[in-house]
Amino acid sequence: MRTADVKAALRRAYPAPEYAILFEVADATGARHSRFADAVAMSLWPSRGLTVDGFEIKVSRSDWLREKAKPEKAETIARFCDYWWLVVPKGLVKVEELPATWGLKEVSEAGEVRTAKSPEKLNAQPLDRLFVASMLRNAGKVDDEEVQTRVNALLGDRVEREVERRLRFHESSKPRYEKLDALIQELKNDGEWFGDEEVLDAVRMVLKSGVLRSYGGLISVHKSLTEMADHIGKAMGVLNMPEPGKKRGRA
């Protein structure tokens, strides 16, 4: 699992308009910054407490162990947060490894975020202008890797739907193919030998004629032609015309 996958999962877990979530937030702007939070989310509804949550994202065990050795590094930004979280792929970190005040969120392979440990409420300092400036600056930034992850997910869903559609079409068409194959075998075994190309030419000719698209198929066409021949015969009788193949007699 990549960092971008975790970010995408967090964005779904903290959706607008209930929350504003920002990524790679520094403690200040310009040369004054000394530390980044991987993500900061603020609840925007008073009913949710207008809390500020900070997130540290780790996707490898070695990266987490380095962070675990110096947990005080997080305090630079955690001091402005009501809650501080570690966000990791499921199973990467044990709950007992966390600093006492940290919470733990796990992200499954399906991108679902689950709280494995709730954090303690911190005594957050008022947001200073440098930190607010950093948050506002990040509000307009686009994480290219996260965008690519979301695009890949959409494309993956589209490809999966197309595969399912084609499989359904194949299954629904299979009986027709089997009937056609049986008919071809019957023609080839019906006394006279027909090569595959001859059979296919005959099938193409019938399909091209449009006979099979007419109402009732061949039966309807046969009936129509029989009635037409009967009408023509009666008309020829009225006109005293000889039957086909016979000459008119001399008077």
Kindly list the domain boundaries of the chain, sorted by start residue.
3-141, 154-238
pTM, two decimals, is: 0.54
Mark 45-75 as b/e (b = at least 16 C-beta within 10 Å).
Answer: eeeeeeebbbbbbbbeeeebeeeeeebeebe
- Tokens 């699992």 locate to 1
The predicted-structure confidence for 123-146, as pLDDT tens digits, reads as follows 998 887 777 777 777 665 655 555
Largest CA distance in the chain: 127
pLDDT recorded at residue 145? 58
pLDDT recorded at residue 96? 94
Average pLDDT over residues 92-117: 94
Neighbours of 241 (CB within 10 A): 13
92 neighbors 61 (Cβ within 8 angstroms): yes
9 neighbors 85 (Cβ within 8 angstroms): no
pLDDT recorded at residue 210? 63
The predicted-structure confidence for 144-185, as pLDDT tens digits, reads as follows 555 566 666 667 677 777 777 777 777 777 777 677 677 767
CA dist., res. 228 & res. 92, Å (int) = 83
Q: Where are the alpha helices (DSSP H) in 79-195?
A: 129-139, 144-188
60 neighbors 66 (Cβ within 8 angstroms): no
The predicted-structure confidence for 39-51, as pLDDT tens digits, reads as follows 999 999 988 889 9
* Average pLDDT value for the chain: 79
